[in-house]
Amino acid sequence: MRILLTLLCLGTLSALGVLGSETADRSLFTEYGVCTSMKNYESVRRSGYDYIETGVRGLLKPESSDAEVVEEFQKIKEAKLRILACNSFLPAKFKCVGPEANHEEILQYAEVTFRRAKELGVKGIVFGSAKARKMPVGVLREDAVKQFVDLLKKMAPLAEAQGVEIWIEPLNTEEDNFINTMVQGKEIVAAVDHPSVGLTCDLFHMARNGEGPENIIIAGKYIRHCHIAEKEKRTAPGMKGDDFTPYLKALRKVGYHAEISMECGWDDFEKRLPMALDYLKQQVNDHSTTKRGMLTFNNLPLGSLRKPLVMRTFMPFAGLEPSVLPNHHKGAKSPKYNPALGKDVEGEYLPISGLPAAFGVNYGKHLSYCWDTVECRLMYAWSDGFLDMENYWGQPERGNRQSFGYVPELRGDMFYRAQGSHPVTINGTSVSSPQYQGYAVKGDVLDFVYKVDGAEIHQQVRPAKQANRFEITLTLQGSGKLGYREERGVSVEVISDKEVKVVYQGAVIARYEAAKAEDILKGKATAKMGEKVFAKMACITCHSLDGSKSHGPTLQGLHGSKRAITGLKEKVLADDAYIKESINNPNVKVVEGYPENYMPVFKMNPKEVESLLLFIKTLKKD
């Protein structure tokens, strides 16, 4: 008897990572940043953020000549710093409204700002600048609005020419006497009516003003950027425990899908950075209203630098050569077996195309890697993504997975792929036939352990500050001299005979976009299409096609037969209407001998249902 073994560990998650941490993030905030100075950039990135937002005058220096900034700008560009936005746009000497308004000087300043923003990759300029836009005593609001709109209409084409956006920021009444609410901001942006002008939604200022989330709904389509801090003392999210969820729900409702910056004070910058990020993400996740809607069922999971996500799962081969896999056995086709008949039946099972005993580890967008427990080595590494688990976990909104789809798809830029024999050496000889012992969580890294000829090797992989880079620490417990094979992109530092440190710096060698959903519903409904739907929905798990008994009734000879239904005296004719009802509402009529509420309701469109019906009608008894 052949037994098909299903690995129960497929797609399981380690407690080190929190599944679903990006479920809501992907639909609401695309990136997380911090408003801070350039000197704090590395601390921000290490804490799991994506970018910094800093001051216009500190970074872009619009009042300095091009010659004065060329050297500094070159250093910034070489360092590849991610500076998404700039704030504190206009100094107080400029006047936007009133009799002393100096628009020509402001526009000259703005033109330099936008040009330099483009040069450094800055996406947008936050226009708060309370002192510069302050309404002087005696100026009517409607006159100030007209002046300000006229200024923005002249400024907008300058920004557009550089591919930069202007984000008007309503400020609380303690700081500003002109634009205080999202509704007031919306009215100004609507009057300007230019694609390069939008709104900043600052949750601190909204809370400080007592402004409700309903104003986000009103201003929704104009919101391009977000700020956040706690209400009382502008502290970082989590320090006082403010609940931002009413605002987050409103942002989600209007379809906001962009970044958010922490604009707040810090009592302990290094310590509070990761704590604030975790707190905000938790609030985003806890009140998710995305289509997926299940916090523990995220098909695109991500970890972070502080809390990597660890998955024990099949992993894709991803172009690995046979020389990298000497200890893996090739899978072979096997006949299909029917347990009810006690024999093989027509058809065959194909081997699963993937590494069956691997780890997928993710540090957010910074680093993902695959570590194989058969070869006991790093197989490949990539950035800017992780795994698309839909093949195995399915679509939660439909309630099904891909039949036999155990291998997830990669997402992101691969920059390392193993080649040749094992890179770790003992006494100059490459490791062969290693024996995996397990792993331990040590802080924010995994310590993989394997044995070779009685000696124990520990391997840890860490993300590095630079892009497309990682670091490996190897230690040997036992006899022998530890080493690491030199290869392209690798620098090896031998600490001692028992410890080696490796740094790998690579470049992108492949881009993976994950699986594209197969369109199996082209044309009109057909029996052939229904057979594909049957396979994709994994209906065979419960319904046989050959008359054998399974978790559910066989589909062989179903159409036109009579079925005994629980609770009904008379049998029911299994006609078209009955079969469609059983697909759409499986618990309305339950066949005798089978449990109620066993089959879930699958969300299927009419063409899928019609195709399944046509396929079932072909399954006649011999």
Inform me whether the pLDDT recorded for 15 exceeds 90: no
Provide the pLDDT for residue 518.
54
Contact 197, 233 (CB under 8 A): no
Rounded Cα distance, 411 and 407, in Å: 13
Q: For residue 121, which amino acid is it?
A: G
Rounded Cα distance, 250 and 262, in Å: 19
- Average of per-residue pLDDT across 534-561: 84
At 254-305, the pLDDT tens digits run 989 899 999 999 999 999 999 999 889 888 875 543 333 333 346 777 888 8
- pLDDT class for 499, splitting at 50, 70, 90? very high
Domains, the chain, with CATH or none:
24-286 (3.20.20.150), 309-513 (no CATH), 527-617 (1.10.760.10)
Of the candidates 138, 133, 136, 166, the one whose C-alpha atom is nearest the C-alpha of residue 148 is 133
Provide the pLDDT for residue 288.
47
Rounded Cα distance, 294 and 291, in Å: 9
Q: Which residue has the tokens 């096609």?
A: 545
Q: Whole-structure pTM over 0.85, yes or no?
A: no
Inform me whether the pLDDT recorded for 155 exceeds 90: yes
Under DSSP, is residue 312 helix (H, G, I), strand (E, B) or coil? Answer: strand
Query: Which residues neighbour 587 within 8 Å (Cβ) at sequence distance 6 or greater?
Result: 596, 597, 599, 601
CA dihedral 279, 124, 214, 244 (to 10 degrees): 10
H or E segment at 66?
helix 66-78
- pLDDT class for 515, splitting at 50, 70, 90? low
More confident of the two residues 59 and 568? 59
Provide the pLDDT for residue 215.
96
- pLDDT class for 460, splitting at 50, 70, 90? very high
Q: For residue 267, which amino acid is it?
A: D
Helix ranges, 263-305 (H): 269-286
Rounded Cα distance, 280 and 245, in Å: 9
Asked which of 135-149, 284-298, 479-493 is least confident by mean pLDDT, the reply is 284-298
How many other CB atoms sit within 10 Å of the CB of residue 552?
A: 19
φ, ψ (nearest 5 deg) of residue 325: -120, 50
Query: Which residues neighbour 617 within 8 Å (Cβ) at sequence distance 6 or greater?
Result: 527, 559
Provide the pLDDT for residue 255.
87
Rounded Cα distance, 182 and 169, in Å: 8
